[in-house]
Amino acid sequence: MKVLISDNISTKCVDILKNAGLKVDVKTGMSPDELKACIGDYHGLIIRSATKVTADILEAAKNLKVIGRAGSGLDNVDKTAATKKGIVVMNTPGGNTITTAEHTIALMVSLARQIPQATMSMKSGKWEKKKFMGVELFNKTLGIVGIGNIGSQVARRMQAFSMNIIAFDPFLSEEKAKEMGVEKVALKELFKRADFITIHTPLTPETKNLINKEVIKTMKPGVRIINCARGGIINEKDLYDALVEGKVAVAALDVLEKEPPENNPLLTLDSVVTTPHLGASTREAQENVAVAVAEQVVDYLVHDTIRNAINFPSIPSDQVAKLNPYINLAERLGCFAAQMFEGGVTQITIEYKGDAADINTAPVTIAALKGFLTPILEETVNFVNAPLIARERGIEIKEIKSTDQGDYQSLIALRINAKKKTSYFAGTLYGKKDPRIVFVENFKVEIIPEGALLFMYNNDKPGVIGNIGSLLGKNKINIARMHFGRETPGGTAISVVSIDSPASPALLKKIQGLPNILSVKQIRL
C-alpha cells in the first residue's frame, strides 16, 4: 500500500511507515490540481494544516482509505465528504496540548510586560524605560473561554502566578470547576470581569466572531486578549477599532482569519503581539504528532485497527453492518440533544430498549457522547477520546438496558441531567437503518435528523405554520420537511422545520417575533 505525505513533517513519520512495509512518497507544496491528479494512487494521506482536502480532491481519491492529520485541527478536511466515501479521518489529539498552553502563557507574559515592543525599541538604539510600563499578573482575573485539554493546562499553570481564574465551558459542571480550582461563570460574566481573556475553543458557526464590538463593549477598559485557538473567533476589524480606541489595551494573536495575512491592519499596531501560528511549533510537539499519526495510519492500513478517528468508531468487522445504524442514530441524537440543552451537565444516561438492548452498546454509547460533545468542541472530539473528555468535565455516564419494547421495536434514549433540570430525547430506526428522533422532552415527534433544522416552541394556535412558511419563503429558504408535536390541543407545541440552507441570525430574530412563537433554535446535524 502507498502513503502520500503532502505537508512538512518529521522524518520519524516516514521511518515508521516504511518499517511497516508501506511505500511512502513525500510531495510537499503541491497545488490543489497537482494533489487531485496524483491522489488516486494512494491508500493513505498524511497532512498537517497546509493541505486542503476538499470534496473535489476526495472524489478523485479512488483508493484512499485513511487521512491522518498530524495535529488536532481538521478544518482543512471535508469530513462529511470523507465519511460518505468511507474514508477514515484521524487526528492526534493531545499532541499539541502542552506546547499550545505554554505558548499562550508566553504571549500572556509578553503582552503584560510589552517584551516584544521593548525589544524592538532597544534594537533600534533607544532606551525608553518609561514608555513600556507593564502590569502584573498577580491577583488579576484570567478568563478562560473553553477549559478543555489546553485551557485546563493554562489554568493549572496560571494558578502558580496567583491569578484569579474564571472559566466558561458549556460542559463544565460546578463540581469539576471546584476540583480544578476555577470559578465557573457565564460567558457574559467572564467578558465583564476578566482582566485577561484567553480563548481555547474550536472555530464553529457558534464561535465565529464570538468576540465582536458588542461583546468588547461589555469588557473592562484596558482588557488584554490572547488567541492561540483559531482565527475568526475574534472579529479582527472590531478588535482593531477597540485597540485604537484603547478599550482593549493589548492583544496577543498566534492565529489570524487569513494565514499568511495580507495587509492586515492589526499588524500595524504596536499594541498587538503576534506570532505566525506557532502554538504547536516545538520540536517535541512536532515529533510527538508525527510519530502518533504514523503509528495510527500503520495500525489501520496494516492491522485494520482504527485509533483516534473522528468519523468511525473501533468495532469488530463482523459487527459493522449491525451496529452502524445504531451508531449513526446515537451520534445524531447526541448532537441534537447538545444543541437543545443548556447548562452545566452532570450526568448523561443512555437507555437501550427492545432490540437495542441486545446489541454491543459500548461503541453506541461512545457515539452518543461524541455527538453530544461535538457541537461545541468540534474536531477535538473523536470516538476514542469522547468518554475521557466527558469525565474531564465531570460528566457521569450511565447505561440502562431493557428488553421491554414499548411502542418501538428498538429505542435509544438520552437523559441529560444538570442540578435542577433533566431533559429527555429518544430515537429509533425505521426499516432497521433510517434514524428518527421520536421524543423531545414530553413531545412525541418524528424528526429526520439531518441538515439544518429550525426547532420552535409555540402556542398551538392557527396560523403558526403559515407564518413560518411565509417568512422563510420571503427570505428564499426552501422547506424540505416539517414535523410537529403537542402536549394538548391549544397548549404548548413544537414545530421542527427542515430547511435547505441555514437561517441567518437576523432571520432567526424575525421568526422569534412571529405571533405565538415562544422560542426558536437552529440545529445543525
**Residue found under cell 517535541:** 284
Of 502, 520, 521, 522, nearest to 512 by C-alpha is 520
Pairing of strands 443-447, 434-440: antiparallel
Catalytic (active site) residue 69: no
Query: Rounded to the nearest 10 degrees, what angle do helices 464-474 and 505-512 cross at?
Result: 150
Which listed residue (34, 245, 259, 342) is catalytic?
Answer: 259
Q: For residue 174, which phi and psi values (nearest 5 degrees)? A: -60, -40
b/e per residue, 140-153, with b = 16+ CB within 10 A? bbbbbbbbbbbbbb
Give me the helices (H) in 393-458, please.
Answer: none
Query: How many Å apart are CA 287 and CA 280, to the nearest integer?
Result: 11
Catalytic (active site) residue 193: no
Query: How many Å apart are CA 304 and CA 48, to the nearest integer?
Result: 23
Contact 132, 126 (CB under 8 A): no
Catalytic (active site) residue 103: no
For the chain, helix (H) and strand (E) counts, in that order, are 17, 22
Which listed residue (193, 230, 332, 436) is catalytic?
Answer: 230
Query: How many Å apart are CA 330 and CA 317, to the nearest integer?
Result: 19
Which listed residue (277, 332, 393, 436) is catalytic?
Answer: 277
Query: Which residues have a Cβ under 8 Å from the Cβ of 364 and sit 6 or more positions away?
Result: 323, 326, 327, 330, 350, 352, 356, 412
The cell numbers describing 489, all together, are 390541543
Q: Give the full edge-to-edge strand order of the sheet including 443-447.
A: 396-402, 347-354, 410-417, 422-430, 434-440, 443-447
CA dihedral 409, 410, 415, 416 (to 10 degrees): -140
Whole-number Cα distances in Å, 415 to 345, 372, 400, 418, 426: 11, 12, 11, 10, 9
Contact 332, 83 (CB under 8 A): no
List for the chain the helix, strand, coil content (%; round to 5).
40, 25, 40
Enumerate the active-site residues.
230, 259, 277
